[in-house]
Structure 1
Amino acid sequence: MNHLRSAVRVGLLPASIALALTPVIAGAQEAETGSEATTLDRIEVTGSRIRGADMETQQPIITIGREEIELQGKTSVADILQNLTSAGSPAISRASALSSGEAVGGYYIDLRNLGAQRTLILVNGKRLGATTSGYQDLSQIPTSAIDRIEILKDGASAIYGSDAIAGVVNVITRKRFDGAEAEARIGQYSEGDGEVQQYSFTIGSAGDRGGVTLSVQYDKEEPVLSTDRWFAKDGSAGPDYPGAGWSPITHRGSFCDPCVPTQDAVWWTLNDGGDPTNRADYHPITPAEYTNANQQMLVQTGIERKSVFANANYDISDKIFFNADVLYNHRSTDQLIAGYPYGSDRFGTPLSGDSVFNPTPGTDVQFRRRLWEVPRTTKSDLETYRFAGGFNGYFELAGKPWDWDVGALLNTNRVTKVGHGDANLFAAADALGPSFINADGIAQCGSAANPIGLDVCRPWNPLLPYGVDGQGSLADPALQALMFPYYTDTGETKTTSYTANLTGSLFELPAGEVGLAVGYEHRKESGRFVPDAFRQTGNSTGLAASTTEGEYDLDEFYAELNIPVLADMALAKELTFNVASRYSDYSNFGDTTNSKFGFTWRPVDDLLVRGTWAEGFRAPTIDDLYGGIGSSFEDYIDPCGVGARNSVNGNAACNAAGVPIGYVQLGQGLVPCTQYPCQTPDQFITGSNANLVPETSESQTVGLVWSPRWVEGLDISLDWYKYELENMIIEDSVDRILRDCYVLGNASRCEGIERAADGHITNMFFGLANLGSMETEGYDLGVKYRLPEFSFGQFVIDWQSTYVSRYDEEGQNRNGDSITVGRVGEPGFFRLRSNIGVDYSFGDFTVSYLARYYSGMKEGCIPNRPCTDPDRYANGEPDAVRRVGSNTFHDVQFSWKAPWNATIGIGASNVFDHRGPVMFSQPSSNFAYYGGFDIGRMMYVRYQQRF
């Protein structure tokens, strides 16, 4: 559809945008002097560098105007975009409480489920700064500064370079705003938590030759505790399975006697009211005494933002103009997860036989203790400094107008992460070592003959349950101060680019002018992320990590042609071809060329047919190439375990690895797994790969746009899309390595796997590799209808749908045969997403309603959980599936334009408090619930005052 025409009709494209564009300004000035005016239709749209009247029709573009942003009642750009039907599962959602690293705390958008790093984010046509891993944080952009958002749902590497594989999001800010505007929005969930506050102020002054616009915004969203949500408070398996998934590493503390063999060990915990030094006062721990870690988790992290955005533009002459943007943003995010599940055997720190707290004096005790008194917290602060400025203008050559611009971008992100709650293993070993009762009756480290000062060491009794007073309690602030330091990670990324562009008309054909755009860009990316020095040593209970640091630069040249072939002919009111190509030369891996071809065919005035074919690429990021070593506690299925699906226990490869016959995979606390995938009790190591090459892609779209003349205000579009990605940079997963080693018998894949005598995997390395490939295709349907204005008001209907017909990843089955793994229907990979919005206005009153539909989901079955298709097979292997139904969430807002130039609104997201289904696989979340669904009814009020 003609998005520009529709936007103008509904008032979503303010005139200030047009005035900010070079040709428009020039045309207006020439009109004042009596010369021939330049037409007002030479605009540049996202996805093309050529300015022309119909460029916006050639590709599938969605425009979200300022009025629509206000009616959605969202506080961030990412929240607005997440409502797009083409948006995939949220990357690092606020429900992913256990996520760690540089990018945690940001807001990202993932178009087509191709990954957030494969959607390019622009601000006024220039790149948004990224983390070392390529994530572009949309929370940096204050919504008060936004004029509109253009979303190109097509590959555009030929126009913009790396990362524009799935599409491009271009956030366009307000310019030449004249006046002042203040707005406040306050809301909270109907449960009485998650309070949201947003305050903004925008002021501007515009004159004949320029203008200045300033937007200041403050946002704060309070966290939500998992104990306050029905799907999380009872544990990781949801409300129907209370106690399932609770940790055997309990806040009560326990020790094993006997401890060998590990899987048959008996763990003893203190009786209520018992003496912790009396062996007789202990009993075998029961599952009822396990710990529900969710009691110390956030189901939604808290976030606070302070943003300042300014734009200044000035007409230096009738043909030369200046424009500059400046952004400062400070984002602070809080995370909370349960105290660390400490196991002395993991760190070689038993409770000494000479400890005054040992219930078996003279014999070291292996124990387990959840460090419940000191939950793990992380405060992530990100500061963004951004300047984008340049000159643009126009001139005439051979009677043809040409537009030019030169510009520079400087974007710096500085991140600081302060963590607390991970124990210093040196301090823990000292606190668990020999101790005695001194003359003052106080437990002291060392011995009476050789005491250690209390300012250096405090004895710890890990067998004293949480909430029980006594010496050696972890609740002692002095002991906490010695055992739990604060860890500070720091990082900085910089993006510097210089650009030059030229666009105009080469010559005129019978069907119209041949448009040309050429340009050059030099860009440099540098970054580092430095984990706390002590954390890097691996001598804490936290995940070990090392420094990421590197840089690269590139030079790029592009050219784009728009060629009108036919016009005003039978069955060819318009036929236009668009071709573009971009050459990129990187300092680290070499060069690449990517091209794009598009066509526009209008057989009759009311019908438009369009299509594109595009090559795309994503260059390896600094973290991909130069990232340090990291560690994690992975969830996986050991094929050598008898409890696993498709077990190969007893085959040659498992026997060679020393895995006992009948071995059951061991999970946290070295307890046999009862559900799969099962989390390892040991840290696995992952890292970067300096030999990575760029990812490559091909995308295709074909679409129809119908705007019938006899139904004014109606636009219908239908687009088919297809993406194919090769050489995808993915983490070489634990499951893939284990399958290759033990199922397929590839001995080279077994080299990094280490196992203990009992058979469980104690260590393995899995790094990055160009191993991924996938293919997806589907359809986008859009129906917009602005009904005629009636005496009782006016209705505007906007119905957008995305249907995913396939999303396939390549893999292998147990026989080593290539297979296609279809993911459509998995959480986040919905077969159908559909939004229907209805706006009704009557005088000064407006009602906005939005229904968000998600089709049903499926997940793999695990033991002791309901399974709808237990006998299902795929690719010759058992593939039992659990299916759940569709979900619809409803949003509504009522607003009134007051006589004193104000707007008052009241609204609710998920107004009917709809609850999604329990999902045991915890998709995009660390809870039994899909992380992209609403977690309650959010009610809010907003007040906007214009001056």
Structure 2
Amino acid sequence: MAFAEEEATKVKKEDEIERIEVTGSRISRMDAEGPAPVVVISADDFKDKGFNTAHDALKALSQNTGTVQGNEFGAQGGFTANADTINLRDLGPGYTLVLVNGRRIAENPTPYNGQSNFVNLASIPFAAIDRIEILTSGASAIYGSDAVAGVVNVILKKDVEETTVSAQLGTTKDGGGDTGRLQLVTGSVGDKHSITTALEYYKQDPIYGKDRDWLDSVDDGPAGVNYLTRGILLFDNVNGTYVDPGEQACIDSGSGYEYTSREGRGFYCGYDGTGEYSIQNERETMSAYLTGSYIINDNLELFFDGMFQDMESEIRGFRHFVSEDVLEWREDGSGNLADHPAFGAGYENYDYILKQRIFSFDELGEATTDFDEQVWAATVGIQGTFGETMAWKAYYNESRYDYETSRARLKEEKVYEYFIGTESIGFGLPDGQGSVGLYDPITDEIRNDLVGYQVIKSDSYSRTLAFVLTGEVMDLPAGPMAFAATAEMNRQGYDLKQDDRTLNKDGMGWYNLTGTVGGGDRDRYAIGAEVLIPVLDNLEFELAGRYDEYDDDTTDVGGRFTPSAKATYRPIEEVMVRASYGESFRAPDMHYVFAGDSGFYTSVNDWTQCQQDWDPADGDFTPIEANCDSESVQGTRSGSKTLEEEKGKNWGFGFVVEPMDNLSFTLDYYKIELRDIVSDESVQGLIDDEYDCNNGLNGRDPNSGFCQQVYSQISRAPAGEVNEGELLGVDISPINKSRLSQDGIDATLAYLYESEYGDFGLNMSYTHVLSYKFQSTDDDDFEDVRDEAWNDSPRSKVQATISYAYEDFFIAVTGFRTGSIPWDEQPAENYDEDGNLVKINRLDPYYVYNLTASYAFTDNLMARGTVINLFDEKPEQDPTQTSWPYYNVFAYPGAAVGTEFYAEVIYTF
């Protein structure tokens, strides 16, 4: 039985130590511990630590200190709602290179956060995984672009001679989320051939917030905001109160909502919709994997592999709704706009109101999104040897990702026809007189006419032709000098299409919805070389360099050379000292380059509008004193073809100590620097610049070219309209603008005590971020933001496993600790009189424990039981977070699932 993180790549024999290739180098070496730290997660680790997917194992890594958009956020409107991502070193999902058998695969064709590309870990067949090797430092000198925070190399099974069938069932303590998995792995190995295949079927039921008693009611919020969701209402924009509908209107609406009130605002029709979102997606997956090889002669071998996965999923998001500012006619003459300065005489019978209706599931159905995804990859190659020490390999690899989603949405023109009204009345506002009253019942005819289905179709591909040559070139006094050389040609591309309504600007779109489109292709050519020089018996240097040329005629990347230098030194046999330096780079994401005219929504503090509304009687206006509320704004963005590559450097220094048999520990310091980071222009930054330009602050001249450019990117309602000066939209594009630097320490400990009473194991990994410096633009300070109140990434993470094995029995407990993070907002008392944050309140660290136990009844039959989140631990709720689900879903993905139980039977023959 394996214990802890067994180094699956280290093959020991009584009289021989076999050379192996470890992620981070193409040179085979005799020891898996080399000049750069590599974490190995074996197939046994998956089972012993309670990991059911590759994503489970990778997100638990101590080096995975970044936040991600998981299932919980996907149901609330995330761009990649069905994808599984990791965020090593908190640089972002796209800054970790994900490989399968050392080769690139097609990226998810829909961009993360509507902007950047990444690999979806859910697209890799779990049954086929033999181990995962994670290089926790940059490696562009070996692999090229994207290997900035590290490299994840998923190594699939091969040379299997047995047949293994396994069946697993799972459920959750609090209901929902039932799972079932069936796997078959088989193969054959002969004198000249080897073939392995793996098949898997997986089914996962959804979990909704209402399935958890701490997420199913407005009373669950920590801030004591327990009023019902505002389902149907009229909000008087002038008086700041709701227009009382009367209890009968709520009853007659057919919505099932109740007549209720909110203190200071008045009465409306409300409901408790807490917990209606999915917190775990429904998913059904079928996958297949096949690999094999054939020996032609002593010096030549053919090899191939292929994988395919079909995944269908569903999530449930927020209810359909209508919300619009309108001018509504009052037949009883109760309007209040006759004295309003923007209206005046003639508007005695009008109210300026917010008109809102959130529709129940019984009225318009659930707002679900269906996903249909297929991923495949295939490789064919030939490899051989010549001479006594030289080996070569040539292969062609192609992968493709096809993606389609369908979700119910409201047709824009029908919303206005039925509920909002379309007649212009001179103030840029609809007249509020739709054909259906706000409180009228929704008939089947209206529902069928109002609801349609938005369809997104996208695909991506990657094609690589590669040649690798390895061997030994000469004998030195301390041993042979080894080398590796590689040449690659790669072409990648994607195509992201929305249906005709999504980006429609003529009133025939989807109500309150926009999207992003794009597509393009680019070619890359690369050559690289490595050399391992044994200077002394206990001192080795490894030098590497790679040149990548982008021939896409679309960006300013061109060519890029990235070198690296590494060294290992053993002052004594039990201690190894290692050091490394390398440069890295990242070509601009495809969607940063090829995005078409796309839309998005964001929230900003509009200082200019806030200043316009400021009452001079309250004193001189300043943004801090005004305490301006944030508001939603629609923006547009498109790609840029003048982007350059992001440039980085990384350093490492550490120790590997093995003072005795079965005991080892490592301590490594790392530092990563990255500049010219590509990201979209900041919408809030534009609003800040506009305010400075208007007031001549920070050296801004309103007539300067800079300010004129800022003004051209911001759209506001013209003078004379009731919403004069209101922020209508912004237009942005990606630029090379940011810089960051992070340093920290990684530590591991592994110990195995063997006795006649059984084997006791301990394995631990620890990461602590020492500093995280960030600079958004050249005008900003380059400052440490690790402990800023807005930074919800943990400062540290720990993973530890204690195991015990005796004969046919095995048990292990694995604990995970996520360090403390700040509240979403800081209370007023944490600021000084100048508005500076002087104290930060932090949430408690979050602990989760997994328990696994197995027993081998015979050589062929084994049973395993697993409990995830043994003590049903929940993350601390943010005292200021008034909206569901009342905790930080980005810092604690999957926390709402709670305790899970799994039982598995494995039979081998």
TM normalised by structure 1 equals 0.82
Alpha-carbon distance in structure 1 between the residues aligned to 2:883 and 2:393: 42
- Post-superposition Cα deviations, 1:719-776, rounded to whole Å, max 9, x if no partner, equal 0000011011122222222233325554343432233446542212233221121111
Query: What corresponds to 1:605 in structure 2?
Result: 573
- 1:501 Cα deviation from its structure 2 partner: 0.7
User: Which structure 1 segments of 5+ residues have no match?
Assistant: 1-5, 19-23, 25-36, 436-457, 465-471, 568-573, 643-648, 650-654, 665-672
Alpha-carbon distance in structure 2 between the residues aligned to 1:333 and 1:98: 12
User: Which range moved further: 367-376 or 380-389?
Assistant: 367-376
Q: Once the two structures are aligned, what percentage of the paired residues are identical? A: 22
Tell me, yes or no, if the aligned pair for 1:180 and 1:203 is still in contact at 8 Å.
yes
Alpha-carbon distance in structure 1 between the residues aligned to 2:33 and 2:746: 17
- 1:99 Cα deviation from its structure 2 partner: 5.9
- 1:821 Cα deviation from its structure 2 partner: 4.2
- The within-5 A match list for 1:740-889 is 740-743=689-692, 746=700, 747=707, 748-756=709-717, 757=723, 759-787=725-753, 789-811=754-776, 818-824=781-787, 829-859=793-823, 861-862=825-826, 870-871=830-831, 877-878=836-837, 881-889=840-848
- Structure 2 residue 560 is matched with structure 1 residue 592: yes
Query: What corresponds to 2:901 in structure 1?
Result: 939
Query: What corresponds to 2:471 in structure 1?
Result: 504
- Structure 2 residue 24 is matched with structure 1 residue 47: yes
- SS in structure 1 of the partner of residue 89 of structure 2: coil
- Structure 2 residue 436 is matched with structure 1 residue 461: yes
User: Which range moved further: 742-751 or 123-132?
Assistant: 742-751
Q: Residue 590 of structure 2: which of 606, 613, 622 is its match? A: 622
Alpha-carbon distance in structure 2 between the residues aligned to 1:845 and 1:277: 65
- Structure 2 residue 552 is matched with structure 1 residue 583: no
- The within-5 A match list for 1:123-522 is 123-132=100-109, 133-230=116-213, 232-234=215-217, 239-243=221-225, 250-252=230-232, 254-256=233-235, 259=237, 261=238, 264-274=239-249, 286=266, 294-345=274-325, 367-372=355-360, 373-374=363-364, 375-396=366-387, 400-420=388-408, 422-432=409-419, 461-464=436-439, 472-474=440-442, 476-522=443-489
Tell me, yes or no, if the aligned pair for 2:416 and 2:434 is still in contact at 8 Å.
no
Q: Residue 895 of structure 1: which of 849, 854, 860 is its match? A: 854
- Post-superposition Cα deviations, 1:869-916, rounded to whole Å, max 9, x if no partner, equal 714699x83365321222211111111111262221122111011111
Alpha-carbon distance in structure 2 between the residues aligned to 1:824 and 1:154: 23
Query: What corresponds to 2:868 in structure 1?
Result: 909
- 1:283 Cα deviation from its structure 2 partner: 9.6
Alpha-carbon distance in structure 2 between the residues aligned to 1:9 and 1:763: 53
Question: Structure 2: which amino acid aligns with 1:393?
Answer: G
- Post-superposition Cα deviations, 1:43-100, rounded to whole Å, max 9, x if no partner, equal 2111001122246422100111111112123221011111110013353211113565
Alpha-carbon distance in structure 2 between the residues aligned to 1:739 and 1:556: 43
Structure 2 vs 1, CA of residues 811 and 695 (structure 1 numbering), >3 Å: closer, same or farther? closer
Count of aligned residue pairs for this structure pair: 838
Question: Structure 2: which amino acid aligns with 1:378?
Answer: T
Tell me, yes or no, if the aligned pair for 2:252 and 2:441 is still in contact at 8 Å.
no
Alpha-carbon distance in structure 1 between the residues aligned to 2:617 and 2:877: 32
Question: Structure 2: which amino acid aligns with 1:270?
Answer: P
User: Which range moved further: 301-310 or 607-616?
Assistant: 301-310
- Structure 2 residue 534 is matched with structure 1 residue 564: yes
Q: Residue 63 of structure 1: which of 40, 62, 81 is its match? A: 40
Alpha-carbon distance in structure 1 between the residues aligned to 2:596 and 2:628: 27
- 1:353 Cα deviation from its structure 2 partner: 9.0
- SS in structure 2 of the partner of residue 633 of structure 1: strand
User: Which range moved further: 822-831 or 530-539?
Assistant: 822-831
Question: Structure 1: which amino acid aligns with 2:461?
Answer: K
- 1:486 Cα deviation from its structure 2 partner: 1.0
Tell me, yes or no, if the aligned pair for 1:184 and 1:944 is still in contact at 8 Å.
yes
- Post-superposition Cα deviations, 1:232-287, rounded to whole Å, max 9, x if no partner, equal 4345x95222436976xx322x2355x5x4xx454324222249999xx9999637
Alpha-carbon distance in structure 2 between the residues aligned to 1:615 and 1:798: 32
Query: What corresponds to 2:647 in structure 1?
Result: 696
Higher RCO (C-alpha 8 Å, min separation 6): 2
User: Which range moved further: 676-685 or 151-160?
Assistant: 676-685
Tell me, yes or no, if the aligned pair for 1:352 and 1:365 is still in contact at 8 Å.
no
Structure 2 vs 1, CA of residues 245 and 702 (structure 1 numbering), >3 Å: closer, same or farther? farther
Query: What corresponds to 2:342 in structure 1?
Result: none
Query: What corresponds to 1:526 in structure 2?
Result: 493
TM normalised by structure 2 equals 0.85
- SS in structure 1 of the partner of residue 851 of structure 2: strand
Query: What corresponds to 1:467 in structure 2?
Result: none
Alpha-carbon distance in structure 1 between the residues aligned to 2:841 and 2:208: 28
Alpha-carbon distance in structure 2 between the residues aligned to 1:924 and 1:80: 30
Alpha-carbon distance in structure 2 between the residues aligned to 1:937 and 1:610: 41
Tell me, yes or no, if the aligned pair for 1:97 and 1:297 is still in contact at 8 Å.
no
- 1:206 Cα deviation from its structure 2 partner: 1.5
Structure 2 vs 1, CA of residues 738 and 753 (structure 1 numbering), >3 Å: closer, same or farther? same
Query: What corresponds to 1:32 in structure 2?
Result: none
- Post-superposition Cα deviations, 1:758-811, rounded to whole Å, max 9, x if no partner, equal 654221223322112111111011000111x21221111101101111112125
Structure 2 vs 1, CA of residues 52 and 277 (structure 1 numbering), >3 Å: closer, same or farther? closer
- Post-superposition Cα deviations, 1:96-115, rounded to whole Å, max 9, x if no partner, equal 13565764311112111111
Structure 2 vs 1, CA of residues 335 and 244 (structure 1 numbering), >3 Å: closer, same or farther? same
- Post-superposition Cα deviations, 1:804-853, rounded to whole Å, max 9, x if no partner, equal 1111212589xx66251412487652222111101101111110111111
- 1:362 Cα deviation from its structure 2 partner: 9.5
- SS in structure 1 of the partner of residue 842 of structure 2: strand
- SS in structure 2 of the partner of residue 243 of structure 1: coil
Tell me, yes or no, if the aligned pair for 2:90 and 2:793 is still in contact at 8 Å.
yes
Structure 2 vs 1, CA of residues 675 and 179 (structure 1 numbering), >3 Å: closer, same or farther? farther
Alpha-carbon distance in structure 2 between the residues aligned to 1:461 and 1:829: 47
- SS in structure 2 of the partner of residue 634 of structure 1: strand
Query: What corresponds to 1:13 in structure 2?
Result: 8
Q: Residue 730 of structure 1: which of 679, 691, 697 is its match? A: 679
Alpha-carbon distance in structure 2 between the residues aligned to 1:627 and 1:817: 27
Tell me, yes or no, if the aligned pair for 2:142 and 2:546 is still in contact at 8 Å.
yes
Question: Structure 2: which amino acid aligns with 1:624?
Answer: Y
Alpha-carbon distance in structure 1 between the residues aligned to 2:883 and 2:771: 20
Alpha-carbon distance in structure 1 between the residues aligned to 2:78 and 2:268: 34
- 1:687 Cα deviation from its structure 2 partner: 3.1
Query: What corresponds to 1:683 in structure 2?
Result: 634
- SS in structure 2 of the partner of residue 296 of structure 1: coil
- 1:229 Cα deviation from its structure 2 partner: 3.2
Alpha-carbon distance in structure 2 between the residues aligned to 1:892 and 1:591: 50
Alpha-carbon distance in structure 2 between the residues aligned to 1:418 and 1:58: 48
Q: Residue 105 of structure 1: which of 82, 86, 107 is its match? A: 82
